[in-house]
């Protein structure tokens, strides 16, 4: 039994058994493992079997009154985060990674960086969140000023040199828009250690 029989079996699963794409893929990888690791006769050709179709399901969408009921139970940062998710459309991880410099009140835009596929994009800022975001940003600036006075206030910014980090740290533009779940002092030590390690590695590669 070789590649033709494997292709026939996988095609049978897709057409006759109507299995899902994940089930067919699991069967394929099991057979590849069998031939490669057990029989020691790895398959040499690409398996051109008929592929099972991925299931298409309609998304579950909340009604407007249901959404209003949920938002009515939220307050503070949680409410602002939920409003951004619903009104601007970023993913949860993208919203939590927003930095102060990503918020453009002048053009009413939100810059999403490193999204799906590591692509940057912009999305519109909902009218309802503009004033709450301004108030939140002002509170962030005041807290950032207090953190700097206490010797903290740093933020992790991968792939940036120490000078760039220092500039963004001083004006707070690189700070997270939503509060990180870690103390500023620990965050500061992590940033300094990470930056120092990357700088040392870069110098070693140049040598």
Q: What is the CA radius of gyration of the chain?
A: 25
> What structural domains and CATH numbers belong to the chain?
1-57 (1.10.150.130), 64-196 (1.10.443)
Global pTM exceeds 0.85: no
The pLDDT assigned to 74 comes to 92
Contact 3, 45 (CB under 8 A): yes
The pLDDT assigned to 175 comes to 65
Question: Distance between CA atoms of 65 and 129, rounded to whole angstroms?
Answer: 19
**Shortest CA distance to 27 belongs to which of 55, 54, 52, 1?**
52
Could you say which residues of the chain have pLDDT below 70? 153-175, 179-207
């Amino acid at each position: 039994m070789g590649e033709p029989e494997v292709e026939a079996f996988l095609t049978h699963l897709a057409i006759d058994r109507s299995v899902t794409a994940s089930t067919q893929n699991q069967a394929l990888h099991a057979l590849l493992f069998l031939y490669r690791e057990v029989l020691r006769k790895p398959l040499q050709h690409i398996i051109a079997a008929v592929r099972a179709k991925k299931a298409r399901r309609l998304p579950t969408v909340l009604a407007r009154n249901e959404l209003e009921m949920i938002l009515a139970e939220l307050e503070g940062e949680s409410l602002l985060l939920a409003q951004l998710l619903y009104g601007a459309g970023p993913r949860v991880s993208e919203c939590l990674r927003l930095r102060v410099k990503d918020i453009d009140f002048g053009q009413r835009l939100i810059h999403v960086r490193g999204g799906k596929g590591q692509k940057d994009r912009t999305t519109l800022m909902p009218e309802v969140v503009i004033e709450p975001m301004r108030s939140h940003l002002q509170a962030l600036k005041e807290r950032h000023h207090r953190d700097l006075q206490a010797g903290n206030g740093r933020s992790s910014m991968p792939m940036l040199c120490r000078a760039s980090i220092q500039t963004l740290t001083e004006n707070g533009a690189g700070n997270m828009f939503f509060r990180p779940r870690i103390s500023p002092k620990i965050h500061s030590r992590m940033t300094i250690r990470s930056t120092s390690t990357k700088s040392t590695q870069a110098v070693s590669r140049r040598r």
